[in-house]
């Protein structure tokens, strides 16, 4: 009995160490390679640590503001993801309040109809969505990525679920005291739903930051695109592995913001609260 637990414990450790190594090493490899010179990479091949640590790759990356303006891309991504996140939080809290705390005719029917329609596969609306963005004049502007995702139902569903756990008596007693809906929303409900808003906000931020298909379609202007779409161009810009350090350095720079966010807000990322829904608008 005792022996059995020990064996399984060591097996679990062995498995976790191997998996963690496989999951960590590629990122470290990218970091290390970004500090190696091209000649060293070509001549010495794969090494765990550079022979000489150099920062030229990063200097070159930052100086290339024409074909691969990575700082511009990062700024575009930061602006897009931040604006998108703020607006998501506003929209889902207001809308969630409407669908869970207000009484109006056909409320639940409306909610579940919209939810049902939102399950309609995104791939079908991809091409017309581009046309709509084009008509709005949003191609190659941040709005192309900031606004459409606000229409999603997934986060509203989550907020609504969360609000259901808040006793209705709170609203009713405030209403007896003469509070308006706006007051109930901002003074009572909003502070209470903070956890779910933070989680939805974080996933909106990383989702927007890492979105790939949509930005590849709506951005053709090198200076206007977010970093994920920009990186697609890099294998050509840095000549099919003739500038490996720059390639890796750019990839690493693109990772840093979301990693920072993760380290500051780790407990929310792994709280599984968002994952009960998971669907992204």
* Interface of this chain with other proteins, residues 56 to 75, rule: CB under 8 A: none
The correct pick among 52, 178, 191, 221 for binding other proteins (CB under 8 A) is: 178
Among residues 80, 227, 224, 84, which one has the least CA distance to residue 149?
A: 84
CB 231 within 8 A of CB 205: no
Write the DSSP string, 245-276.
Answer: HHHHHHHHHHHHHHHHHHHHSHHHHTS-TGGG
- Residue 241, interface with other proteins (CB under 8 A)? yes
- Residue 2, interface with other proteins (CB under 8 A)? no
Q: For 277, which DSSP code?
A: T
- Residue 252, interface with other proteins (CB under 8 A)? yes
The correct pick among 51, 59, 151, 168 for binding other proteins (CB under 8 A) is: 151
Smallest gap from Cβ 15 to other proteins, in A, equals 5
Residue 253 Cα distances to 33, 187, 247, 249, 258, angstroms: 13, 40, 10, 6, 10
Contacting residues for 182 by C-beta, under 8 A, at least 6 apart: none
Smallest gap from Cβ 274 to other proteins, in A, equals 9
Pick out residues in 197-216 that bind other proteins (CB under 8 A): 206, 209-210, 212-213, 216
Nearer to other proteins, 66 or 104 (CB): 104
- Residue 163, interface with other proteins (CB under 8 A)? no
Interface stretch with other proteins, choices 25-33, 53-61, 62-70, 187-195 (CB under 8 A): 25-33
Smallest gap from Cβ 9 to other proteins, in A, equals 4
User: For other proteins, how many residues bind (rule: CB under 8 A)?
Assistant: 107
66 C-beta neighbours (distance < 10 Å), count? 9
| Helical packing angle, 70-101 and 227-237, nearest 10° | 150
């Amino acid at each position: 009995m005792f022996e059995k637990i020990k064996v399984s414990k060591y097996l679990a450790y062995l498995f976790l160490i191997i998996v963690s190594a496989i999951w960590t090493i590629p990122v470290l490899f990218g970091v290390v390679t970004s500090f190696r010179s091209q000649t060293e990479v070509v001549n010495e091949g794969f090494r765990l640590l550079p022979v000489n640590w150099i920062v030229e790759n990063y200097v070159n990356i930052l100086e290339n503001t024409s074909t691969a303006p990575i700082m511009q891309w990062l700024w575009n991504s930061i602006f897009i993801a931040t604006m998108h996140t703020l607006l998501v939080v506003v929209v889902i809290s207001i809308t969630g309040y409407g669908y869970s705390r207000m009484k109006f005719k056909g409320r639940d029917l409306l909610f579940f109809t919209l939810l049902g329609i939102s399950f309609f596969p995104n791939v079908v609306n991809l091409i017309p969505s581009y046309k709509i963005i084009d008509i709005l004049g949003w191609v190659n502007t941040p709005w192309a990525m900031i606004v459409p995702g606000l229409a999603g139902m997934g986060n509203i569903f989550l907020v609504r679920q969360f609000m259901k756990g808040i006793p209705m008596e709170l609203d009713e007693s405030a209403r007896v005291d003469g509070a308006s809906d706006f007051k109930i929303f901002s003074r009572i409900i909003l502070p209470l739903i903070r956890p779910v808003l933070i989680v939805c906000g974080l996933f909106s931020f990383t989702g927007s930051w890492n979105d790939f298909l949509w930005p590849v379609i709506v951005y053709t202007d090198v200076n206007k695109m977010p970093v994920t779409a920009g990186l697609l161009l890099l294998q050509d810009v840095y000549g099919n592995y003739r500038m490996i350090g720059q390639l890796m350095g750019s990839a690493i720079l693109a990772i840093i913001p979301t990693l920072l966010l993760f380290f500051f807000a780790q407990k929310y990322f792994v709280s599984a609260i968002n994952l009960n829904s998971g669907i992204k608008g």
